[in-house]
Amino acid sequence: MIHHLSIAARDPRHVAFVLAELLGGYAGPFVGPFPGAWVVYAEDGVGTGIEVYAEGTQVVPGEGDAMAAVQLGTHTPTAFHALVSVKADRATIERIGAREGWRTRHFWRGPGNVRLFELYEFWIENRTLLELVTEDMLPRYVAVANGAAQRELLAGRAAQPA
């Protein structure tokens, strides 16, 4: 289980409050080594959180036996994204995305025309992708997000003519 992850944002405080609204949780300043950082907790009993750092914050290996350090750099697009369950419903996700002016689109995922599960692409500040699933979307994701289901999908692809 992933308990927390971090993202960078131009306005960490604002992003934290938007995420807290979606998660139905808490947003506040992050007490840690990252200047200007904010944290969001889903209040789910297992510490699920998202740390929101100032744009350009980089987490780097510590020197010698020291823990990870922070340094400032420039924003670089990455392959990072995360699928996050939210307490908000579909209409709320769409309303918040529209209010913020952030690209928010509903999609089905799966190979070809196969609809395995659905989600929202929610682009924080139109730069960082969070895939959001509502409570009613989650069962279809869980059904395919395991080794047995993935092996079955791969076997089905191998059986198809080229």
pLDDT value, residue 96: 98
pLDDT value, residue 113: 85
Sort strands 26-29 and 104-109 into parallel, antiparallel or unpaired: unpaired
Mean pLDDT by 10 residues, the chain (162 residues): 90 98 96 87 94 86 76 70 95 98 94 90 92 96 90 76 60
pLDDT value, residue 75: 64
Residue 37 in contact with residue 29, Cβ under 8 Å? yes
